[in-house]
Structure 1
Amino acid sequence: MLCAGLVIAAGLGISSCKKDLPIKSNDKVFKVALFKQGLQEQLAGARGYQFIINQDGRWVDSAVYGIGGFDRAGNTFPAMVESEVNIASVTKTFTAVAALKLLAQNGLTIEDQIADWLPEKWSKNSAITTLKFRELLTHSSGIYEGGTSWSSLKNVVGGPLDGPKIDTYANANLALFRAMIPKLADKNTFSIKENELSADAFDQWMQDEYVKRMNSLVFNPAGTSAVCVPDPKKTTNMLMNEAPESLAGYTEGDWTPFSGGGGFFMSTVQMARMMAYLVHSDAVIDDATRAIMDTQRPGKYRIGWNRIFAVTGGTALAHGGGLTRPANGMDVSLQTMIVKLPNKVELALSINSMPKGVPRPINTIVQTAYNNAWVTE
């Protein structure tokens, strides 16, 4: 009779009986602490940074380092995950979410043309009006314009395409939704306002309505809110330079007239919260919308994600942002990023400086830290 746990060595006829034989599968497991450590090591040198790691829709770890900025007297304040930052182009992900929700509400798809949803009184070139929503959302429209002021957007709509319809990241693609989201949300009111207001007053109405709709469609369902102007009652991180240069900084002002492709002020906590809701909850988007964002047109850009890179276990989907300004004869900068990773992990990251205005390769930083966080126990 064989005892429990008997091991027979094949071909040798040797047997033994042991209890609780330790057997390892050699499967690798993800370690949040190692992911955090890898990020911290690669972000050394920044004036300050803050990031939050989610797993299974929950905040599991975070890190802050350095300073968030300084006041007029030169007194510094620390980096904090609760501090606001201009999230720059991370805004585009949230704009895309609002657009997809409103298209569905109007019985439209991303393959419909944008013509009927631009302001009636704008001069329009047929090359623009026949564009599809998908082409704007994936930066494949042929619009290359980086400016997002109202005059820039009107020039884009009134003129020919800047170039061929190839993958060319351009701020105007998503900034145009500053004019279209209010119309998609309430076409009748939009028409009334366009006819009764002056051109400047209507621009003001559209930009305010865009922010209002972004809150009701995207941020409020996740239990938060955001605006495109820094709140004087809250700490706002600055754009700064890096040592050994003498410390210089810049604080962004009102982005409401330029919003859509950038401009919301949010804390790292808010970004992490939004990622948890976008990935794990139906409160903001449903599975069908999530699938459109994650899988539509798997090329250089996807809807809401401008960075797609391979990591252990699959593909990372991310959107990065960056701003650079002159201050005291030097470039001061910031970088932001939200990342959706395999294994139900998300990252929200804000860096308060760049090395001499040159963006850090955040894709590679995240990729390296995430891959190295998988170890055999």
Structure 2
Amino acid sequence: MITMSNIFSNLNKSKLVNTLFFLSIVLAFTSCEVEDTLNELQTNTPVFDIETFEQNLIDYVEAGGDSPIGWAYTISRNGNLEKSNAYGKARNAADGSMDFALNKEINIASVSKFYTAIAVMQLLEANNLTIEDDIVDWLPNTWVKGPGVSNLSFKDLLKHESGLQSTNNNFDTTLGYQGLKDCIETGVVNAKTRNYLNVNFALYRVLIPSLWSNLNGSPAIDIENDANTQFMYLLYMQENIFDRLSLPLVGCFPEDRTVSTLYYNVNDGSNNGGQYYGSWNNKSGGGGYFMTTLEMAKVNAYFEHTEILVSKEQRDEMKLHRLGMDIADPADETHGNYYGKAGSIGTSSDPSISQGVRTQIVMFPGTGVDCVVVMNSQGVTLQGTTSLRQMIYDAYNASWVQP
């Protein structure tokens, strides 16, 4: 009998080989169920074609004739890696030319929120709490709680419906420990409707250690201490998400500056240097993980096709409320519900000069397909849209063909 423990015991300890082996984790019955469903379709009903999807992704990224400086994608079906490739440069000629690759780390930006949400679901269950419970008792005692904070729930943060006051820039200030403390003191001063704010998830850098500290056997945790909350957030994520997938040393600190991926505008050419992102430890929670494309694909596989990270019930709840996920127009979901998370960091609101990163994960449960697309460039002309998520949706929707 094949078990997850058998599979883990056979995984190579090397980080790269470990990552490549994620394709073996799927359960055979999942594949059979999806294939059986497809086989039962009438012959005149369009079916999903993964080869078309791959070509669409490539064509849509390169539609404007201005390919990213470096980019990569993976396409998996039922947890098995089926299609993948990497193109271009992690560093251009001005920065000491280095090819981009599937196993090259990149700042995944707000895709980090999806992983934070998984950790929250784990800890709420472990503490016999639900997403409807209030966060106030889990905040540092010394923080002044402003108006409305006593009625602020975990769900409010996870859905970006907190009503808190913050901005999505000046990350070291707004997402640092003092910035979080100030935000809670200001309180809920806006309508509790969806307003995408990084601070909603940065607060989990404190709340995750706080929830963890309440469990038997947890390490000593001082949530009144900035450095300790940083360390304990990252430690919990490593032990309870990445270690479970045999992904060692995943964190919010980049590779050495001399070899790390740098971030460009598509118009930079070979002579303009790129942006370097240093440590995100002090502002993590809502962003900042550095991971390879293959590592991101592995998390997708385990989340979607096993109960190693979350139970089926937890996964269903995350999808129902789009916890740690983006919301899209349902009209775009023409073949069942799609679930994804985007990430983007840029130096300017002007796409012609902004240097930065764009990332996207999407899961298509109806076909068992999921994909990852990352690029170390802003300003790329995508086919028919400026949204990387929308581009992937369009590529998927255009990949249903007559049998």
Fold shared per TM-score above 0.5: yes
| 2-structure distance, mates of 1:230, 1:339 | 24
Structure 1 residue 231 displacement after superposition: 2.7
Q: Measure the CA separation in 2 of the matches of 1:75 and 1:369.
A: 34
Aligned with residue 289 of structure 2, among 260, 264, 275: 264
Distance 1:38 1:125, change over 3 A: same
Choose from 195, 211, 220 the match for 1:168.
195
* 1:354 partnered with 2:372: no
Query: Are residue 56 (structure 1) and residue 78 (structure 2) matched?
Result: yes
C-alpha displacement of 1:204: 0.3
Q: Does 1:111 align with 2:136?
A: no
- State the distance in 2 between where 1:339 and 1:191 align: 35
Q: Distance in 1 between matches of 2:360 and 2:258?
A: 21
**Inter-partner Cα distance in structure 2 for 1:234 and 1:26:** 55
Across the two proteins, how many residue pairs are aligned to each other?
341
What SS does structure 2 have at the residue aligned with 1:318? strand
* In structure 1, distance between residues paired with 2:108 and 2:377: 13
Alignment counterpart, residue 156 of structure 1, candidates 183, 191, 209: 183
Structure 2 equivalent of residue 131 of structure 1: 152
Say whether residues 1:28 and 2:46 are aligned partners.
yes
Correspondence for 1:334 = 357
1:21-100 map, 5 Å: 25-44=43-62, 45=66, 46-70=68-92, 74-100=95-121
Distance 2:239 2:52 in 1: 37
Provide the secondary structure at the position in 2 that maps to 1:67.
strand
Q: 4+ residue runs of structure 1 moved beyond 6 angstroms?
A: 188-192, 356-359
Matched, 1:365 2:372: no
CA distance in 2, matches of 1:223, 1:113: 33
- Which has the higher mean CA deviation after the structures are superposed, 256-265 or 228-237? 228-237
Residues 298-351 of structure 1, C-alpha deviation per residue, up to 9 Å, x if partnerless?
xxxx2021133433421211100001137xx95311101111113000011101
Residues 206-355 of structure 1: matches in 2 within 5 Å?
206-225=229-248, 226-232=250-256, 236-243=260-267, 246-296=271-321, 302-309=322-329, 310-325=332-347, 330-341=353-364, 342-355=366-379
**Letter of the aligned partner of 1:139 in structure 2?**
H
Asked if the contact 1:84–1:235 (Cα under 8 Å) also holds between the matched residues in 2, the reply is no
Q: Which segments of 5 or more consecutive residues in structure 2 lack a partner in the other structure?
A: 1-41, 169-173
* Equivalent position SS for 2:148: helix
Q: What amino acid does structure 1 have at the position aligned with 2:104?
A: S
- Contact 1:248-1:332 within 8 A present in 2 as well: no
**Cα offset for 1:258?**
0.2
2 CA distance for matches of 1:340 and 1:313? 12
8 Å CA contact retained: 2:165, 2:186: no
Structure 1 contact 182–190 (Cα < 8 Å) conserved: no
Deviation of 1:129 after TM superposition, in Å, equals 2.8
Does the CA contact (< 8 Å) of 2:105 and 2:292 recur in 1? yes
Secondary structure of the structure 2 residue equivalent to 1:308: coil
1:96-133 per-position Cα deviation (integer Å, ceiling 9, x unaligned): 11001100000000111001111111121141232011
How many percent of aligned residue pairs carry the same amino acid? 29
Change (3 A) 1:75 1:234: closer
2: distance between equivalents of 1:51 and 1:115? 40
TM-align CA RMSD: 2.5
Tell me the SS of whatever aligns to 1:82.
coil
Normalising to structure 1: TM-score of the pair? 0.84
Amino acid at match of 1:307: I
Q: 5+ residue gaps in structure 1?
A: 1-23, 297-301
Q: SS in structure 2 opposite 1:336?
A: strand
Change (3 A) 1:74 1:169: closer
